[in-house]
Amino acid sequence: MALPNIAYFTVADLCERWSMKPAHIGTLVLEEKLVLSVGLSGVAVEVGEWIEVDTDQWQRAPGGLKRLTGIYDLNRNDAWAVIKHGSHVIDSVEPEEPDSYIDIHTWGGKTEFVVALDDLLIRRKEVARFEACNAQVAQDAPEISINRSGPGAPQKYDWDGFWIEACRYIHEEGIPSTQAALVRGLLDWFDANGKSSPDPSTVKKKVSRLWKALHASAASSSGGGNRADSAAA
């Protein structure tokens, strides 16, 4: 009997397919390189639109309640939280139309909608797109790529890429609550990109002065604290 062509992968499928850990998949999601989805079956939602009432001033225009069945994309923060914690309460999914929203209807005593790691799906076309993009990057890369700090041997680790990722990480995610969190995030970047990874103590030494400067700046700022990355409606 011919088996049906499966249109979706699970996180476990991708971990096996790409020889990655779930945390690596989560990193790709945070970097907006991969979109994860979830299945809904008769889930009550509120749908509506965002209307610009003034310059950069937006207001919700509810369009009513309905029940959704199908596969819907998650925003990157929710998908990452499911991977990180094993499960996470989801209160919205991504709409297909721009300037609109889909909120899961959980008020009035309704049960919260919890998504577990095994519930996450990745569309086959999304996997194909990701693999095609990375194949093109590998094809376009020079045959020999050597980063040199001087006339000697090439660097063992991609420190130039490391500092670029550190800037991106802090700019998009905000200042981590601890230096250890920053170190873990940068080590995950080495792993997710298939690069030779230094030991944690080496990375800690590299970011120590940066962390102290950022922490001191955040502490002295009147509006200090981590910048929260707002989820898409």
pLDDT digits (tens, 9 = 90+) for 29-41: 998 899 999 999 9
Residue 227 pLDDT class (50, 70, 90 cuts): very low
More confident residue, 129 or 150: 129
Q: Indicate the average pLDDT of the chain.
A: 80
Residue 98 pLDDT class (50, 70, 90 cuts): confident
Tokens 């890369």 found at = 141
Residue 189 has what pLDDT?
83
Between CA 107 and CA 42 the distance in angstroms is 16
Residue 190 has pLDDT above 60, yes or no: yes
Residue 226 has what pLDDT?
44
Between CA 233 and CA 102 the distance in angstroms is 7
In this prediction, residues 60-87 reach a mean pLDDT of 93
Between CA 102 and CA 99 the distance in angstroms is 11
Residue 2 has what pLDDT?
57
Cα three-residue angle 112-117-119, rounded to 5 degrees = 70
Sign of the CA dihedral 180, 181, 186, 188? positive
In this prediction, residues 38-46 reach a mean pLDDT of 92
Taking the whole predicted model, whether its pTM rises above 0.85 is answered as: no
Which token pair is 96? 């297909």
Residue 136 has what pLDDT?
56
Residue 4 has pLDDT above 90, yes or no: no
Q: What is the number of residues in the chain?
A: 233
Q: What are phi and psi of 206, to 5 degrees?
A: -65, -40
- Amino acid identity for residue 93 in this structure: V
Residue 167 has what pLDDT?
86
Q: How many CB atoms are located within 10 Å of the residue 154 CB? A: 10
In this prediction, residues 57-66 reach a mean pLDDT of 88
Which token pair is 212? 């102290």
Residue 218 has what pLDDT?
60
Summarize pLDDT for 135-184 with one digit per residue, the tens: 755 455 454 343 444 444 456 778 888 888 888 888 888 887 788 888 88
Between CA 16 and CA 28 the distance in angstroms is 16
Per-state percent for the chain, helix, strand, coil, to nearest 5: 40, 25, 35
Between CA 86 and CA 117 the distance in angstroms is 5
124, 9 contact by CB (below 8 A): yes
Residue 230 has what pLDDT?
39
Between CA 169 and CA 188 the distance in angstroms is 11
Between CA 197 and CA 217 the distance in angstroms is 29
